[in-house]
Structure 1
Amino acid sequence: MISVAIVDDQPLIRAGLRMAVESQPDLRLAGEGADGAEAIALARAHRPDVMLLDVRMPGVDGIRAVPGILAAAPATRVVMLTTFDLDEYVYAALRAGASAFLLKDAGPEQIIAAIRQVAGGDLLLAPALTRRLVEEYVARAPHATDDGRLAALTERERDVLAALAQGLSNVEIGARLHVSEGTVKTHVSRILSKLGLRDRVQAVIAAYELGLVVPGGGHPPR
């Protein structure tokens, strides 16, 4: 069972998300909240696998709540709910530790698939949206530079990290590198451990920050 918490200040949004969660036998509602303070309390009390968290709420907003949520429940995957696919406030959530982003107008099937994907840690949620957000985030950050962390990775791990940053799934990475999906998962796990990263979204950010790939999905010039 995947436990899911829902935090949004709009009752109708919460109701729609609740219905989507409760319609599935493998999903369980862990609780609901209406602001960031309640989100942190939910994380501390229930430690949900996934938290659907609105970006803009009165009081403590979603972005400011993320660090508190992860401090209370480090294993929780935070999915930010946003109205616009390039909401400027979402960029800060990347560094705060959010795992993924979901548009509020997504249909029930998308919501359910998103929850399962982020809980499984396999695919970046909404890859096109996430890549655009990451690239915009990186464009606003200082110039990409290798601070020595890449030295900890093998050549194959660097190839896998670059492929992650281009939005490829484990299956697609395996096909490109001629290795099994299981081998790719092992490489991804080692990359996250060596670089001290939470998940694949954070790995994508690191790939851009370290200059391993450049906005647009390509490799930097040699």
Structure 2
Amino acid sequence: MPKQKNSRPFTVCLLSPHPGLLAELQRLLPNPQFKVKPMRLKFGPGLDPGDVRLPRASMFVIDASPARATAERLLDSIRKRSPKSHVIILKEDMTDQAVFPFLRLGSKGVLRYEDARRELARAVKAVAGGGIWIARPQLSRFMDSVLRKSPKGQELHERGDLSPREREVLFVVLKGLSNKEIASKLNISERTVKFHVSHLLQKFGVQRRADLILQNLQAWPANSSD
């Protein structure tokens, strides 16, 4: 059960232009696990996310289908104004072309409307715990799209607390290689690879390699992806 440090219910803000959908989403996030704040917004070219007074929340769930460009601007605004908050996107179109822009802007989860009825609460819990909610094949394609233009890893997110070897291991992890493949490529033992990967997970505050991969790819400059 996701809890904030002071043990209060986990706060989730729902953003959509449709009151019916807001009511349905609120029903899917039961109390006392979640404190839900539904907010109706009129999506469209006239909506300036900077003028929207958003409530404080640990998680935002955005209904992105009414106007994708507006939803992208809203996500970007949330990430800039509240960088510690997580965002999950609800969409109908789950093609790479439709999903990748939201991943580049920092979304940690993407759900189809029809899947939200059975998966929204689990997705919120997973993302709140530092994880992601993205289909593995799509995450792999997103990873490839970002890495394709950075073959030498020169655009890895700068962190002063990473050793040269950790940066080297991190970049190979981002290519999706297994521990055995990394050991062979870097001419080190699998045990050493596991040691470095474990330290990387701790330093980035994540539990799984997939979470580590997405966090780093989202930190790269936008021009490093297609």
Same fold (TM over 0.5): yes
TM-score, normalised via structure 2 length: 0.64
Identity within the alignment, %: 15
- Aligned twin of 2:153: 146
Establish whether residue 25 from structure 1 lines up as the match of residue 25 from structure 2: no
Unpaired stretches in structure 1, ≥5 consecutive residues: 169-174, 191-197, 212-222
Secondary structure of the structure 1 residue equivalent to 2:111: strand
- Aligned twin of 2:20: 12
- What is the deviation of 1:130? 4.5
TM-score, normalised via structure 1 length: 0.65
Code of the residue aligned with 2:12 in structure 1: it is V
Code of the residue aligned with 1:203 in structure 2: it is N
Aligned length in residues: 196
Match of 1:125 among 120, 133, 141: 133
CA separation of 1:200 and 1:117: change in aligned 2, threshold 3 A = farther
Match of 2:114 among 85, 105, 113: 105
- What is the deviation of 1:25? 1.9
**Deviations 1:2-50, CA, capped at 9 Å, x for gaps:** 11111223333322211111x24221112322345487666x4422111
CA separation of 1:35 and 1:77: change in aligned 2, threshold 3 A = farther
Secondary structure of the structure 2 residue equivalent to 1:105: helix
Secondary structure of the structure 2 residue equivalent to 1:57: coil
- Aligned twin of 1:188: 204
CA separation of 1:176 and 1:127: change in aligned 2, threshold 3 A = farther
Determine if contact 2:12/2:61 at 8 Å carries over to the other structure: yes
CA separation of 1:54 and 1:68: change in aligned 2, threshold 3 A = same
Secondary structure of the structure 1 residue equivalent to 2:126: helix
Runs of 4+ in 1 over 6 A off after TM superposition: none
Match of 2:41 among 34, 44, 47: 34
- Aligned twin of 1:61: 70
CA separation of 1:65 and 1:133: change in aligned 2, threshold 3 A = farther
Distance 1:117 1:47 in 2: 20
Distance 2:201 2:97 in 1: 32
Distance 1:182 1:149 in 2: 18
CA separation of 1:206 and 1:70: change in aligned 2, threshold 3 A = closer
Higher CA-based Rg: 2
